[in-house]
A and B are shown apart, each in its own frame.
Chain A
Amino acid sequence: MSTTAQPPQAQNSRKTTTGTNGSTASKAARLLGDRRLPVVVTATLFLVMYLVGLGRYQNFGFGEPQVFLNLFIDNGYLLVAAVGATFVILSGGIDLSVGSVIGFTTMLTAWLVEKQGLPIVVVIPIALGVGAFGGFLMGYVIHNFEIQPFIVTLAGLFLFRGLCLVISKESIAIDDSSVSSMAQAQAQLGVGFLSIGAIIALVVLAVAFYVLHYTRFGRRVYAIGGNEHSAMLMGLPQGGTKIAVYTVSGFCSALAGLLFTLYIQSGDPLHATGMELDAIAAVVIGGTLLTGGSGYVLGTLFGVLVLGLIKSIIQFEGTLSSWWTKIATGVLLCAFILIQRAMTARKKT
């Protein structure tokens, strides 16, 4: 355990590394109870995987800074979706509609731009509005009628996937010049470049970080996820917060859908099938407790990066097939859930 405890900010873990053998057990236990541990584990994992990748594919250009930046370019949409999912999971809920909303947004955008001839500047607010409204509706039903989030968002999953198909069964390619110029726009960083999508994703991450850790709304999200009943007794507006959380998730999913549209430049009714699972996996691997109330949005970033790195390592490996991504994701998910379990078991006593 102590080998992973090298975070500059975790003071009590520093002690553990220098601790004597006599009290190692209790210190290890305290370390295990540290909320930051999962994030540190994930960050370490990312680092180790990156170094392994460097070792294996150095000659194939794995060390290029652009390969690292590509992680953000290729997974920007996942990051945005996972940030939205982080809000929901922190509040103790779950949102299964993420993938469908992303798919629907690609479809809606492609349809409005290509078939209806609307300029993309008009389409963007429409798409975001529809996503946020969908999230709001789900949150409204979850809160007001006390139906489990999981089943309501499941209905949302069906609904949005169905609406995709209602718009069109075929995929719609986007040839619009303003969209493609937007997609190709790059920000030079000296050592490489980032796409617009990656930059937006990082901005979303920064905003989410600020909102969750420095605003009243963020505190309410944590409070409700920690113990909804106490939060209510404390007089927190739990209903409004819950609805807001699902609205945020809907908005993020729609934004992720727009980024995905830019990334792939088409709308397809089957885009992003099952991406809610990737998003949830990223959040969990990032160390957010699925029971809610504990976790960091920065952990989600590492979760997404780890998932992205698995994909790029598999690409570099060449011989491995893409289904290994799923297996690796599942194994990681399992490992991190067990870590979480060990932590929460510790907290109870």
Chain B
Amino acid sequence: MTTTPRWRALTQHHLFWPVAVLIVLLLINVPFTPGFFSIKMTDGHLYGSLVSIVLFGSPLILVAVGMTLVIATGGIDLSVGAVVAITGALTCSYISDQADQDSLSGVFLAMGIGLVAAVVCGLWNGFLVARMGIQPIIATLIIMVAGRGVAQLITDGQIITINSEPYKLIGGGYWLTLPFSIFVVAAVVAVTVALTRRTALGLLVESVGGNAEASRLVGIRSLRIKIMVYVFCALCAGIAGLMISSNTSAADGNNAGLWIELDAILAVVIGGTSLLGGRFSIGGTVVGALVIQTLTTTIYTIGVPTQTNLVFKAAVVIVVCLLQSPKFRTKVFGGKFGGKFGSGSGAKGGGTSAATPADTAPTTAAAPKMEVS
């Protein structure tokens, strides 16, 4: 590899591959949609493909950011889709019961109720995972299965439609010429980044994900950290639920947030966070979510039948996972293909897979786990 150190440093940055994929996807659109990158100002609102990608991607970014922290602790949260549905259902049914749906206090109260329900779901997940020691996939499966039933129970099996101007703002409104949801997402991402990277919280989350037992022995309250990330994830899903129901002005217990957990996990994985836990990248996740949304948009714009959307997503999942697999890289590229893409996957020995010699060999990406000394 005759590359300059600077170029190598660039390609080894953990955001390089996700961003590269995003840029390629965006560029693919250009020949099909003239003026893809242009942004027009109409009626005081900014319109354009880029704006709509961010707008439609907002709920996914939120859910994926929450999911990132859960995955960083070595867990997974399958219940986010159901939490989206429950939050939307509660909020909308409360608003629809009010005489004046435009009353600000009523809307705030409704949103509060919805978010409290989300937090309760998160606490429940965290309790099962951290306190009872149940595998995260299974623990969160419970709300995934039952949650949609609860959401339908709340809406009485109907799709509740509402007509509330203030509530419309969150998911479908504009503020300072931009979709309001972009500000919500930006705020959540900023707070998350600040909390995890400006305080020790991110380090603690990573150490719990790296080795929960060791971090407990070191004195980190790993139980509390775990519960916290599930609550945070559910809260993010709750906000996404508000956004989705606000955008459609309706609560659909059956379909709101359907499969969003899968998209969110996908976004996290594309963003370079290892599913084994131990390290995470919020920036990567945001880019990952944008990649997924852009992929969806691209499929629309280049005229491929939209129903193939899922096939493309499957292809992306497989390619990303294969590239993250040290074993695949060893087999196919002979271990020469370095880069930090998929940082840390496979680094954790003693996982479910047996540590074969090939596993420990040339995993260039597998930097040593953070040692807790």
A-to-B contact residues, CB < 8 Å: 92, 94, 141, 144-148, 150-152, 154-159, 161-163, 165-166, 169, 228-229, 232, 238, 269, 277, 280-281, 284, 290-291, 321, 323-327, 329-331, 333-334, 337-338, 341, 345
- A151 B269 Cβ-Cβ under 8 A: yes
Q: How far is the CA of A162 from the CA of B262 in the complex (A)?
A: 14
Q: Find chain A residues with CB under 8 A from B137 CB.
A: 94, 150, 290
Supply 24 A–B pairs (Cβ within 8 Å), ascending by A: A144-B331, A145-B321, A145-B328, A145-B331, A147-B324, A155-B314, A163-B311, A165-B309, A165-B310, A228-B354, A232-B354, A269-B307, A280-B141, A321-B153, A323-B148, A323-B149, A324-B153, A326-B145, A326-B148, A326-B152, A329-B145, A330-B146, A334-B146, A337-B139
Q: Find chain B residues with CB under 8 A from A269 CB.
A: 307
- B146 A166 Cβ-Cβ under 8 A: no
- B321 A327 Cβ-Cβ under 8 A: no
Q: How far is the CA of A111 from the CA of B157 in the complex (A)?
A: 32
- B138 A146 Cβ-Cβ under 8 A: no
Q: Find chain A residues with CB under 8 A from B150 CB.
A: 323, 327
- B138 A162 Cβ-Cβ under 8 A: no
B322 located at the interface, meaning its Cβ lies under 8 Å from any Cβ of chain A in the complex: yes
- A146 B317 Cβ-Cβ under 8 A: no
In the assembled complex, the CB of B85 is this many whole angstroms from the nearest CB of chain A, namely: 11
In the assembled complex, the CB of A216 is this many whole angstroms from the nearest CB of chain B, namely: 20
Q: How far is the CA of A326 from the CA of B154 in the complex (A)?
A: 13
Q: How far is the CA of A281 from the CA of B265 in the complex (A)?
A: 22
Q: Given contacts A147-B321, A166-B311, A228-B354, is CB(A330)–CB(B328) below 8 Å?
A: no
Q: Find chain A residues with CB under 8 A from B76 CB.
A: 150
Q: Find chain A residues with CB under 8 A from B321 CB.
A: 145, 147, 151-152, 155
- A323 B157 Cβ-Cβ under 8 A: yes
B279 located at the interface, meaning its Cβ lies under 8 Å from any Cβ of chain A in the complex: no
In the assembled complex, the CB of B292 is this many whole angstroms from the nearest CB of chain A, namely: 11
B 132-150 binary contact with A (CB < 8 Å = 1; else 0): 1111011101111111111
In the assembled complex, the CB of A28 is this many whole angstroms from the nearest CB of chain B, namely: 20
Q: Find chain A residues with CB under 8 A from B317 CB.
A: 151, 154-155, 158
In the assembled complex, the CB of B67 is this many whole angstroms from the nearest CB of chain A, namely: 13
B 287-304 binary contact with A (CB < 8 Å = 1; else 0): 000000000000000000
Q: Which of B266, B269, B354 contacts A238 (CB 8 A)?
A: B354
Interface of A, helix, strand, loop or mixed by DSSP: helix
- A147 B322 Cβ-Cβ under 8 A: yes
Nearest residue (CB) in A for B332 is A145
- A329 B312 Cβ-Cβ under 8 A: no
Q: How far is the CA of A165 from the CA of B305 in the complex (A)?
A: 9
Interface of chain B residues 90 through 147 with chain A (CB within 8 A): 128, 132-135, 137-139, 141-147
Q: How far is the CA of A291 from the CA of B354 in the complex (A)?
A: 16
In the assembled complex, the CB of A121 is this many whole angstroms from the nearest CB of chain B, namely: 29
Interface of chain B residues 322 through 361 with chain A (CB within 8 A): 322, 324-328, 331, 346, 352-354, 359
B-to-A contact residues, CB < 8 Å: 76, 128, 132-135, 137-139, 141-150, 152-153, 157, 253, 262, 265-266, 269, 275, 305, 307-315, 317-318, 321-322, 324-328, 331, 346, 352-354, 359
Nearest residue (CB) in A for B146 is A330
Q: Find chain A residues with CB under 8 A from B146 CB.
A: 326-327, 329-331, 333-334
- B352 A165 Cβ-Cβ under 8 A: no
Q: Find chain B residues with CB under 8 A from A166 CB.
A: 305, 307-308, 311
- B145 A146 Cβ-Cβ under 8 A: no
Nearest residue (CB) in A for B253 is A323
Q: Which of B149, B312, B315, B318 contacts A326 (CB 8 A)?
A: B149
Q: How far is the CA of A290 from the CA of B134 in the complex (A)?
A: 10
Nearest residue (CB) in A for B350 is A229
In the assembled complex, the CB of B93 is this many whole angstroms from the nearest CB of chain A, namely: 14
- A341 B265 Cβ-Cβ under 8 A: no
- B314 A333 Cβ-Cβ under 8 A: no
Q: Which of A145, A159, A238 contacts B311 (CB 8 A)?
A: A159
Q: Find chain A residues with CB under 8 A from B359 CB.
A: 146
Q: Given contacts A150-B137, A151-B275, is CB(A333)–CB(B305) below 8 Å?
A: no
Q: Find chain A residues with CB under 8 A from B328 CB.
A: 144-145, 147
Nearest residue (CB) in A for B328 is A145
Q: How far is the CA of A291 from the CA of B318 in the complex (A)?
A: 25
Nearest residue (CB) in B for A154 is B262
Nearest residue (CB) in A for B345 is A147
Q: Which of A165, A291, A331, A333 contacts B307 (CB 8 A)?
A: A165
- A162 B307 Cβ-Cβ under 8 A: yes
Q: Which of A150, A162, A324, A334 contacts B142 (CB 8 A)?
A: A334
With A151-B321, A165-B307, A277-B145 given, can you name 5 additional A-B contacts, CB distance below 8 Å? A146-B325, A151-B275, A154-B265, A290-B137, A329-B146
Q: How far is the CA of A329 from the CA of B148 in the complex (A)?
A: 11
Q: Find chain A residues with CB under 8 A from B134 CB.
A: 337-338, 341
In the assembled complex, the CB of A95 is this many whole angstroms from the nearest CB of chain B, namely: 12
Q: Given contacts A152-B321, A277-B145, A323-B149, is CB(A158)–CB(B354) below 8 Å?
A: no
- B157 A321 Cβ-Cβ under 8 A: yes
Q: Which of A158, A281, A330, A341 contacts B143 (CB 8 A)?
A: A330
